[in-house]
């Protein structure tokens, strides 16, 4: 009887130790692989940016940022920036640490350089138009994750438009973002 009771207690002890070890791994991974973030820096500038990212594994993820201009002083009116990131961070938390990003951009940019001229060639007025521009860029930054699944990141980069019709030749890729991983 004592031998069976001792075996039962040892079995439960071993099971509980392994269960705790496995559950710790699971809780790190159950935070999720999807993120939604808001770029606070761009929002202050007048170009709010909302991003969705899917974390594929410990060191890579892809996402899409949507931005729109709410300020009349900005040239960027609407844009979509798909991106791919490679993370060089802590393997205990997927998709965190230092990262580099390759991105592409499709943006509607205001072009107010289209001048209307009279027959003598003198400019007398201009009109504002929106031109769709395509570009490629890169960025680098860092991402941080709390145990509750809140995400913060800081990044800096730039991209270049390949459209020759507009006077805006580049787009910034800067951000201080907060969000939630689920």
For 17-72, what is each residue's pLDDT tens digit?
Answer: 444 433 333 344 567 999 999 999 999 999 999 999 999 998 999 999 999 999 87
- When pLDDT is averaged across residues 10-20 and rounded to a whole number, the result is 45
Where residue 169 falls among pLDDT bands split at 50, 70, 90?
confident
Helix, strand, coil proportions of the chain in percent (round to 5)?
Answer: 20, 55, 25
Q: For residue 10, what are its two tokens?
A: 């040892």
Question: pLDDT tens, 79-135?
Answer: 999 999 999 977 688 999 999 999 999 999 887 655 566 677 666 555 567 888 899
- Identify the pLDDT of residue 123: 61
- Identify the pLDDT of residue 114: 55
- Identify the pLDDT of residue 174: 96
Among the residue ranges 3-7, 48-52, 159-163, the one predicted with the least confidence is 3-7
pTM: 0.76
CATH class of the region 32-181: mainly beta
- When pLDDT is averaged across residues 141-154 and rounded to a whole number, the result is 95
SS (H, E, C) 1-59: CHHHHHHHHHHHHHHHHHHHHHHHHHHHHCCCCEEEEEEHHHHHHCCCEEEEEEEEECC
| Pairwise CA distance, residues 161 & 175, whole Å | 19
- CA-closest candidate to residue 61, choices 52, 71, 69: 52
**Domain layout of the chain by residue ranges:** 1-30, 32-181
- In contact, 30 and 54? CB cutoff 8 Å: no
Beta bridge partners of 107: 79, 133
């Amino acid at each position: 009887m004592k031998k069976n009771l001792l075996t039962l207690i040892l079995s439960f002890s071993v099971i509980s130790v392994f269960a705790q070890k496995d559950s710790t791994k699971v809780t790190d991974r159950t935070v999720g692989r999807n993120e939604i973030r808001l770029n606070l820096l761009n929002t202050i500038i007048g170009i709010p940016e909302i991003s969705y990212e899917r974390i594929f594994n410990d060191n890579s993820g892809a996402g899409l940022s949507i931005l729109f201009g709410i300020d009349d002083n900005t040239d960027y009116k609407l844009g979509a920036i798909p991106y791919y990131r490679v993370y060089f961070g802590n393997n205990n938390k997927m998709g965190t640490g230092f990262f580099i990003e390759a991105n592409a951009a499709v943006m509607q940019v205001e072009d107010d350089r289209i001048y209307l001229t009279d027959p003598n060639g003198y400019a007398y007025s201009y009109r504002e138009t929106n031109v769709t521009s395509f570009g490629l860029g890169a960025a680098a930054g860092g991402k941080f994750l709390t145990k509750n699944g809140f995400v913060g990141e800081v990044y800096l980069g730039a991209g270049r438009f390949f459209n020759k019709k507009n006077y805006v030749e580049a787009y910034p890729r800067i951000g201080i973002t907060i969000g939630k991983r689920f």
